[in-house]
Amino acid sequence: MSTIDVNGKQIEVDEEGYLANLNDWEPAVAEVMAAAEDQELTDEHWDIINFLREYYEEYQIAPAVRVLTKAVGKKLGKEKGNSKYLYELFPYGPGKQACKYAGLPKPTGCV
Amino acid sequence: MSVKKFMYVNRKAPYGTIYALESLEVVLIGAAFDQDVSLAFIGDGVYQLTKGQNTEAIGQKNFSPTYSALGDYDVNKIYVEKESLEERGLTLDDLQHLVWEDEDDDWAEKDSIRLVSRAELADVLDEQDIILSF
């Protein structure tokens, strides 16, 4: 099991970089993961990360991209509820990349 | 790709075996393929939908909140067999209230659970193209 360094604390991640233990998450984890991928986190990124964390809290799963897109459109406005917007924010895939930063497991239904 | 009628039949209690969780995961993954999906809960399977599950003492994840996400995945035909509930002293009120939002009806919330008799469920099963039993 590999680890990432978050402010001097060693946090376990799996072979794809997802947190081994969901409870280890803190905002700094997302910052460290994003920095490793040369990705800057803006307020727009945080909207999605926070949305994913709330979704997981309620339903105990990371949503499939299609479900995320629909739900974001409903919650944050129609102009954000499309895959173009989400892929611009998270070029490695909104499901995979945003879920990783949010400390969630890889999305169920990510085929 | 033509649309087929998929039916997932859930027959086991939620914990103690992996069947319930596996079924739920297959349903969620399969939902990406835009098929016509139904779920049926019969026998001890009806316990999967009960409210207020608490798994703390058995050290397993309580995945029952995930059933509420099925509507987001366009899975909104959830058949519960009436006799199975009655045989276990349960009623619809003991189950989670599962809903979906109808995009064509101004996002109106509609019930996903359909209470059916054993005979009615047999007819529903008869209409399916593919039946997966868990």
- So where are chain A's domains? 2-101
Cβ separation B73–A67 shorter than 8 A? yes
Query: CA of B41: how far to CAs of B77, B80, B116, in Å?
Result: 11, 5, 10
Q: Is the pLDDT of residue A38 over 70?
A: yes
Q: Is the pLDDT of residue A108 over 80?
A: no
Cβ separation B25–A71 shorter than 8 A? no
Q: What pLDDT, on a 0 to 100 scale, did the predictor assign at position A109?
A: 53
Residue B75: both structure tokens together:
């899975």
B73 contacts chain A (CB < 8 A): yes
Cβ separation A108–B28 shorter than 8 A? yes
CB B70 within 8 A of CB B27: yes
Residue B61 carries which DSSP code? Answer: -
- B-interface mutation test, from A21, A57, A66, most B Cβ less than 10 A away: A66
By C-alpha distance, the chain B residue nearest A111 is B29
Catalytic positions of A, please?
Answer: 110
Average pLDDT over residues A59-72: 88
Q: Residues with Cβ < 8 Å from B31, sequence gap 6 or more?
A: A64, A109, B37, B73, B74, B75
Q: How confident is the model at residue A35 (pLDDT cuts 50, 70, 90)?
A: very high
Q: What pLDDT, on a 0 to 100 scale, did the predictor assign at position B107?
A: 84
Q: What pLDDT, on a 0 to 100 scale, did the predictor assign at position B31?
A: 84
Looking at the complex, report in whole angstroms how far the Cα of residue A26 sits from the nearest Cα belonging to chain B.
Answer: 21
Q: What pLDDT, on a 0 to 100 scale, did the predictor assign at position A111?
A: 42
- Which of A69-78, A101-110, B18-27, B82-91 is the least confident region? A101-110
Q: Is the pLDDT of residue A107 over 60?
A: yes
Give A2-101's CATH code, choosing from 1.10.510.10, 2.40.50.140, 3.40.50.12780, 1.10.10.370.
Answer: 1.10.10.370
Looking at the complex, report in whole angstroms how far the Cα of residue B131 sits from the nearest Cα belonging to chain A.
Answer: 20
Residues of A within 8 A of B61 (CB-CB) are: 60
Cβ separation A109–B73 shorter than 8 A? yes
* CATH class of the domain defined by B5-133: alpha beta
Q: What pLDDT, on a 0 to 100 scale, did the predictor assign at position A78?
A: 83
Mean pLDDT split into 10-residue runs, chain B, 134 residues: 91 96 92 90 98 94 95 94 98 96 88 97 97 97
Average pLDDT over residues A8-13: 92
Whether ipTM tops 0.85, in short, is: no
Q: Residues with Cβ < 8 Å from B88, sequence gap 6 or more?
A: B44, B46, B47
Q: Which residues pair with B39 in a beta bridge?
A: B8, B78
Q: For the packed helices A65-76 and A43-59, what is the interaxial angle rounded to 10 degrees?
A: 110
Tell me which H or E stretch contains A59.
Answer: helix A43-59
Q: What pLDDT, on a 0 to 100 scale, did the predictor assign at position B90?
A: 98
Query: CA of B50: how far to CAs of A82, B25, B109, in Å?
Result: 35, 18, 20
Residues of B within 8 A of A67 (CB-CB) are: 69, 72-73
CA atoms within 13 A on the CB side of A29: 25
Q: What pLDDT, on a 0 to 100 scale, did the predictor assign at position B115?
A: 98
